[in-house]
A and B are shown apart, each in its own frame.
Chain A
Amino acid sequence: MPEVEFQGKKFNVDEDGFIDDYTNWSEEWVQFVKQEEGISELNDEHKKVIDVLREYYEKNGIAPMVRVLSKVTGFKLKHIYELFPSGPGKGACKMAGLPKPTGCV
């Protein structure tokens, strides 16, 4: 598993750049993923999406469905793509340190 170093922190990631373990997530990870995911400046709305994803994952052990994420954050899917150009799965979940989405993608 490749290791990346950013701002003095080391992270183990898979080929798609997802973190190996949810618990290894940190503020530096967010800053690291930001550049990969085409996001220039992080604002409160980005943070809100990440917080919601992490809270939901901690409570339920899975990532929320897209419409649950929309409902809880109040952001329409279109706006989530404005915040995270790769979308809620590849963009936001990666940044929040959640496991890689699986299934017939």
Chain B
Amino acid sequence: MAKHETPLLSQLETGPWPSFVSDIKREAESRAKNEKGIDYQIPVDACEDLLGVLELSYKHGRTHWKHGGIVGVFGYGGGVIGRYCDQPEQFPGVAHFHTMRVSQPAGKFYTTEYLKGLCDLWEFRGSGITNMHGSTGDIIFIGTTTPQLEEVFYELTHTFNQDLGGSGSNLRTPSDCVGQARCEFACYDTQAICHELTNYYQDELHRPAFPYKFKFKFDGCPNCCVASIARSDLSFIGTWRDEIRIDAEAVKAYVGGELKPNGGAHAGRDWGAFDIQKEVVDLCPTKCMRYADGKLEINNKECTRCMHCINVMPRALRIGNDRGVTILAGAKAPILDGAQMGTLIVPFMKAEAPYDDIKEKVIEPIWDWWMEEGKNRERLGELMKRQGLQRMIEVLGVDPDPRMVQEPRSNPYIFWKEDEVEGGWKRDINEFRKYHKR
């Protein structure tokens, strides 16, 4: 018998999609039975009270968590999101319901041994509920009490060789696409750089020292499977600068119907026979492809590496061999001054361990600038708006490049530096009056 009636939530147990309600109920049951004889360190009925408070929120149409919460572990300024229920008498099991962010491995590959270890720890010292994973990438332990935080942290670090993720005005947990682990489009080792920079900037991740949050994300190619261009202040997107490699035999196989376009992604509907002209050549955004006499040609000088042709014919077309990253900066959600996606700041850079160029010529100059000039709670993208892309280019110490803008400005409010203008700004009005009477 469940502790609380949950008629509204129970409706969400119907339908084909995996039901989070059924799952939480199962965990609640498992805790109640406690077949493994665990000495639960937070209330046994935490899951039931969570469902109870959620049912109440469904009924009221309002949240029942109090504002904010500042908890953590000694030595770090982030990693734990404190949360308290605003109906603690009715739902004592979730009176404290803090979330712990646990740093995830790049690409999110696991062994069951590792996951079982974490689950044992979390059943013992937490609610048994997780989020796999948070949007930024962390493994999320949902729901525990303040006294358990240091205990969980001790076990994570000492038993599992595992650290917390980031929260607060700091470098948040970096994340990446699956990369070269199992994708032939990956232009650099996203997992290696994600891991390296996470380790290299541990201080910046654990101890908030920034004006606001800052995120890195690493995409192996412009398909952006981790959405770095939209969800990271500094977005690393793989690309190449030589030629797309064409396998003429495989092109024939696509045209002949032996190979399915897009790896068979559209097999659920009859789109007719594959038409290379219509589905590839005519859709190329720069129209730099030609298919004639059974031969596919690409004018690579005009190619913007949008990935479309490669996505459609992955067996026939491959990324080039001279690979690196494009770096974009400033993506953010709407608050405060409107949503932004990344703006291109570095058209091409090699991405090879130990990534010194990326650290010393891109990341650190940007941090130095933003940490000095950024206002309280001002994202990098907002600083770029306030002080201008020109300032960002100066910070990077590079020359402005046409690739950094989509189009030139249309207004004529153009600032000049004084030393660029002959005679400077110091002028004497009397000198002017000699030639122009009032």
Instruction: List chain A positions with a Cβ less than 8 A from chain B.
Output: 15-16, 18, 38, 62, 65-67, 77-78, 81, 85-90, 94, 100-105
Contacts and interface: CB of A to CB of B under 8 A. Distances in A.
Interface of B: 66-72, 74-78, 81-82, 84, 96, 167-169, 203, 207-211, 213, 371-372, 376-377
Contacts of A16: 69-71, 82
Contacts of A38: 74
Contact of B70 (A62, A85, A90, A104): A90
B350 to A, nearest CB: 32
B72 A87 contact: yes
A62 B204 CA distance: 23
B173 to A, nearest CB: 14
Contact of A67 (B71, B76, B203, B209): B209
A91 to B, nearest CB: 9
A85 B168 CA distance: 16
B370 to A, nearest CB: 11
A85 B84 contact: no
A66 B75 contact: no
B211 A81 contact: no
27 contacts: A15-B82, A15-B96, A16-B69, A16-B70, A18-B70, A65-B211, A66-B169, A67-B211, A78-B207, A81-B207, A85-B75, A86-B72, A87-B77, A87-B207, A87-B208, A88-B77, A89-B208, A90-B71, A100-B70, A101-B68, A101-B70, A102-B67, A102-B68, A104-B167, A104-B213, A105-B78, A105-B167
Among all A-B residue pairs, the 6 with the closest Cβ atoms: A87-B77, A85-B74, A16-B70, A105-B168, A77-B209, A15-B84
A33 B387 CA distance: 41
Given A67-B371, A105-B167, A90 B209 contact: no
B311 to A, nearest CB: 35
